Structure 1
Amino acid sequence: MNRDLPAECTLASGWDARLELAYARRDGCTIPVHRRHVGPLRVQKHFTEPSGVCQHIVVHPPGGIAGGDSLTLDIKLAAASRVLLTSPGAAKWYQSFGRRASQHLSARVAAGASLEYLPLETILFDGAEVDLAACFELEGDATLLYSDVVCLGRPASAAPFAHGSWRQTVEVWRDGSLLWSEQSALRGGDTQLSSPVGMDGHTVVGLLMWAGPPLPDALLDVCRAYPCAGRAGVSQLPDVFVARCLTHSAEAAHAWVAGLWQQLRPFMLGVDAVAPRIWAT
């Protein structure tokens, strides 16, 4: 090991960054009650909405993830707490040069609590070898709103996703029962990128998922009709609501996802949507 490097980083293995966060409700507001990090993964000072929701921005100071890097987030929400987590900008996953990079997110949401996990886009550079995994464990009537925007390559820079691979899993559990399990696997240059039953030539995919009470028909109709600069569809399943879009730009996908969030938020929490300030910068 190179003794000049921090213990969590070696030239051979990459960064090992870990972040633990816990929240609880105090006097009508949600506040952070635990924070621990190893390596380059932090949170900025939290912001409390007038409704008492705690907004927190998760920051990866290096600004990009290289081959061999590993990011781990462990989040816990106590009963009745309300938290919105986002990021300050796009997560850039660089060419891996034969070493896979990964991010693992686990969250436990206690009864009566609500988690909104709304990061900005993930950009997979040509040659990136990436594993992404998220697991949410809900207790009782806990609710979850999860969004994800993935950009395959950088077509504006004439750098399509021609090499590398993207593997992603998302699981949602409630009281030990699996509500939702999704697995994605795509190699750079795969025919699914152009296939009509795959990406159909689009380079960006957006997802918004709600685990909670079913949407009223009127709200579901609003979501179905919400304009998208691409292709979009929504489905109300027995345990989750899922909305997905295919576009050619991260901005278009984020605008669609954020627009749906603004429609859903009053139903979810009984309060208006307060967009994180970082989204406007």
Structure 2
Amino acid sequence: MNQSAAIPVNTPANGRSWIANLNLNFSRTQTGSRLSSVERNGPLSVQKAFYPEGPDCAHVYLLHPPAGIVSGDELHLSATLEANSHALLTTPGANRFYRARDDKNLGTTLQLQQTHYQIADHATLEHLPQETLIFQGADAVNKIKIELTPSSVYLGWDVICLGLPVMNQAFDKGQFEQLSEVKVGNKLVFHDRLKVNQDNQLLNKAAGLGGHHVVGTFIAAAPVQLSGEQNRHKCEALTEQLRAKITELNASDKVSISQLDMLFVIRYLGDKSEECKKYFAALWQILRQALCQREANIPRIWLT
């Protein structure tokens, strides 16, 4: 694993785009997990780390003051977790991909968000952002790449809202693409691609999103704990516990749980982002206890 997940700083060529880069590094010290370095460029930043559950887990809020991405904008977020460190990343509010701009001088309609996390031995990263709103007419790409070692742990979700139905703005124009990738060492263990546009009609097809506009993906990866014959009974018991919670929440028609080698993939398909986050948070509490041996501690920003 590389020592840094840093993404090179980009400079806009046209003066009309905002290219934001944020590179975080977490390390384990004698006083606990610390946000040891921050490199930033453009409108993407963090506050200081908070420690609502003690020194061993740093809570960090990712801040994007414009609160939205327009054509030509690029957000590049990277984080490196050194051995034995633990960080929880979240956001104070929803992210937005606005309608793409028809600007000949801009040279592109693309709106890009790219996330790259590297998690070293016995380190844990929790990536729990608020929802992302994809406005009608957007030209949006969201990429996330996770690199782990066998002993590291990743718990992370994305909640995507296509269009704004409450404002009578269906996602009937524009396109959205999401790419998710998980690697353990140099081995690709999960690759997922969602592309929604008017040509493929994936939004409305029964074999696609079936007319629903909120889709969520929750990945829980812990290679050492979730692979091998020696962990088979643990995985089966954890799967049953997760499915029992979904049954208790009357969400079996909206949430699916798949246990693959080294990870769980949990999906939501429905029409309410708050509902999706509620279900994911309930499952996160179970997974955090099982894979991190820590009680769930709800980020304070969620309650404001």
TM-score by length of 1: 0.93
State the secondary structure of the residue aligned to 1:274.
coil
Give distance in 2, aligned partners of 1:125 and 1:155: 10
1:263 is aligned to 2:286: yes
1:152-163 to structure 2, matched below 5 A, reads: 152-163=162-173
Give distance in 1, aligned partners of 2:252 and 2:219: 19
1:95–1:12 CA distance, 2 compared to 1 (3 A): farther
Q: Structure 1 or 2: larger strand share?
A: 1
1:248 is aligned to 2:249: no
1:84 is aligned to 2:88: yes
**Structure 2 gap ranges (5+):** 1-9, 103-108, 227-233
Give 1:190 shift.
Answer: 4.9
Which one of the candidate residues 107, 114, 118 is aligned to 2:124? 114
Give 1:97 shift.
Answer: 2.2
**Structure 1 gap ranges (5+):** 1-6
**2:297 maps to which residue?**
274
Give distance in 2, aligned partners of 1:157 and 1:249: 14
Give distance in 2, aligned partners of 1:51 and 1:221: 32
Give 1:218 shift.
Answer: 2.8
**CA RMSD between the two structures:** 1.8
Q: Is the 8 A contact 1:150 1:204 kept in 2?
A: yes
| Partner deviation per Cα, 1:64-86 (whole Å, 9 max, x = no partner) | 11111000012100000011111
Following TM superposition, where does structure 1 have runs of at least 4 consecutive aligned residues deviating by more than 4 angstroms?
Answer: 7-13
**2:106 maps to which residue?**
none
State the secondary structure of the residue aligned to 2:126.
strand
1:34 is aligned to 2:37: yes
TM-score by length of 2: 0.86
1:33-182 to structure 2, matched below 5 A, reads: 33-48=36-51, 49-50=53-54, 52-98=56-102, 99-182=109-192
Give distance in 1, aligned partners of 2:154 and 2:48: 23
Q: Which amino acid aligns with 1:184?
A: L
Percent identical residues? 33
Give 1:191 shift.
Answer: 2.7
Give 1:188 shift.
Answer: 4.4
Give 1:183 shift.
Answer: 1.0
Q: Is the 8 A contact 2:97 2:140 kept in 1?
A: yes
**2:255 maps to which residue?**
232
**1:223 maps to which residue?**
242
**1:4 maps to which residue?**
none
Give 1:126 shift.
Answer: 0.1
Q: Is the 8 A contact 1:149 1:206 kept in 2?
A: yes
| 181-190 or 165-174, which deviates more | 181-190
Q: Is the 8 A contact 2:136 2:169 kept in 1?
A: yes
Give distance in 1, aligned partners of 2:13 and 2:261: 46
